[in-house]
């Protein structure tokens, strides 16, 4: 399948990779461009580069929303030759400086569900980000302002959201999910609602929010997901206080039993001082 971008706002385009429904966002300015996330493999990243070139000839800067394979394993293909800046949170950059561990984790995650992808992941060259963000960074991309913000621990300890103020577009990464339930494996479920509340303060009723996976959404969708995340966090706290097994909490929590169980166990670990 040929990858292609769809314009969602003025010179802001979104491409959805079909296998895992991962979104890549492209901002085009005067003589410069910016790509948010780089997909999973060299093959996917090569197709992404070709799709980008159908929209703009300009050189690009890269941003990784976080260090999970489906959002950053294409870095080396898209930024290695010629070298291009890659922005990410400092903890995401640190994770990418341990490529063997990330490749192994990605392989284990995908080997049953997507064995061909898993084999590609184990052999993918990784490129760590070159420009580190702690809390906030403001970029000028061809005369267009881009704001990178870390809103606290949530989906991971190292999530960045990317705001294009002149287009009223907010790239949320995996802080917001439309294509499936949120992924809690590396999460901080008790803090995630706070990060999404801060994200909501960055939106207007007309903001286009690009989730990590699935279709672009609006602030109403984000508000509803925030309510679910808040409910989940409350149930985890109440269950921990009452000595309720995590399995019982998960059975009644939002997002389905399996994701909620992972969240409950992570939340209990955090309350026990283990995270």
Contact predicate 6/14, CB 8 Å: yes
Instruction: State pLDDT tens for residues 77-105.
Output: 999 888 999 999 999 999 999 999 999 99
DSSP string, 119-159: HHHHT------SEEESSEEEEEETTEEEEEE---SSSSSS-
Between CA 226 and CA 202 the distance in angstroms is: 14
Going by pLDDT thresholds of 50, 70 and 90, the confidence category of residue 134 is very high
Query: Strands 22-28 and 12-17, how do they pair?
Result: antiparallel
Q: What is the reported pLDDT for 80?
A: 85
Q: Does domain 6-184+208-217 sit in CATH 3.90.105.10?
A: no
Q: What percent of the chain has pLDDT over 90?
A: 97
Peptide bond into 82 cis (omega under 30): yes
Exposure letters 198-221 (e unless 16+ CB within 10 A, then b)? ebbebbeeebbbbbbbbebbebeb
Distance CA 10, CA 168 (A): 9
Question: 3-state class of 56 per DSSP?
Answer: coil
200-240 confidence digits (pLDDT tens): 999 999 999 999 999 999 999 999 999 999 999 999 999 99
Per-residue pLDDT tens digits for 28-62: 999 999 999 999 999 999 999 999 999 999 999 99
**Sign of the alpha-carbon dihedral angle for 181, 183, 189, 191:** negative
To the nearest 10 degrees (0 to 180), the angle between helices 115-122 and 99-110 is 170
- The helix-helix angle for 192-200 and 219-241 (nearest 10°) equals 160
Question: How far is residue 20 from each of residues 70, 78, 144, 149, measured CA to CA in Å?
Answer: 8, 19, 30, 25
pLDDT exceeds 90 at position 2? no
Q: Where are the alpha helices (DSSP H) in the chain?
A: 42-53, 69-72, 75-79, 90-96, 99-110, 115-122, 192-200, 219-241, 246-252, 257-271
Q: Is the pTM of this model over 0.85?
A: yes
Task: Extract the tokens encoding 130.
Answer: 């070159």
Q: What is the mean pLDDT of the chain?
A: 97
Phi/psi at 67 (5° precision): -100, 5
pLDDT of residue 29: 98
pLDDT of residue 1: 59
DSSP state letters, 221-237: HHHHHHHHHHHHHHHHH
Rounded distance between C-alpha atoms, residue 249 and residue 112, angstroms: 28
Q: What is the largest CA-CA distance in the chain?
A: 59
């Amino acid at each position: 399948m040929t990858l292609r971008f769809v314009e969602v706002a003025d010179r802001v385009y979104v491409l959805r990779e079909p296998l895992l429904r991962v979104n890549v966002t492209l901002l085009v300015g005067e003589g410069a461009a910016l790509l948010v996330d780089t997909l999973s493999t060299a093959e996917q990243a090569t197709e992404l580069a070709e799709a980008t070139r159908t929209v703009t000839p300009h050189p690009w800067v890269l941003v990784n929303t976080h260090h999970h394979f489906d959002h950053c394993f294409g870095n080396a293909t898209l930024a290695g030759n010629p070298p291009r800046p890659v922005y990410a949170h400092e903890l995401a950059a640190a994770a990418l400086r341990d490529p063997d561990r990330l490749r192994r984790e990605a392989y284990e995650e995908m080997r049953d569900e997507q064995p061909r992808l898993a084999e590609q992941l184990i052999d993918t060259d990784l490129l760590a980000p070159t420009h580190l963000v702690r809390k906030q960074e403001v970029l000028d991309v061809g005369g267009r302002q881009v704001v990178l913000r870390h809103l606290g621990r949530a989906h991971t300890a190292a999530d960045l959201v990317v705001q294009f103020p002149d287009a009223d577009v907010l790239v949320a990464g995996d802080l917001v999910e439309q294509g499936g339930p949120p992924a809690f494996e590396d999460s901080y479920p008790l803090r995630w609602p706070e990060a999404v509340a801060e994200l909501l303060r960055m939106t207007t009723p007309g903001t286009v929010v690009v989730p990590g996976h699935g279709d672009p959404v609006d602030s109403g969708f984000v508000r509803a997901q925030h309510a679910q995340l808040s409910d989940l966090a409350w149930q985890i706290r109440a269950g921990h206080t009452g000595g309720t097994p995590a399995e019982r909490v998960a059975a009644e929590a939002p997002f389905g039993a399996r994701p909620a169980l992972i969240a409950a166990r992570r939340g209990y670990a955090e309350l026990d001082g283990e995270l």
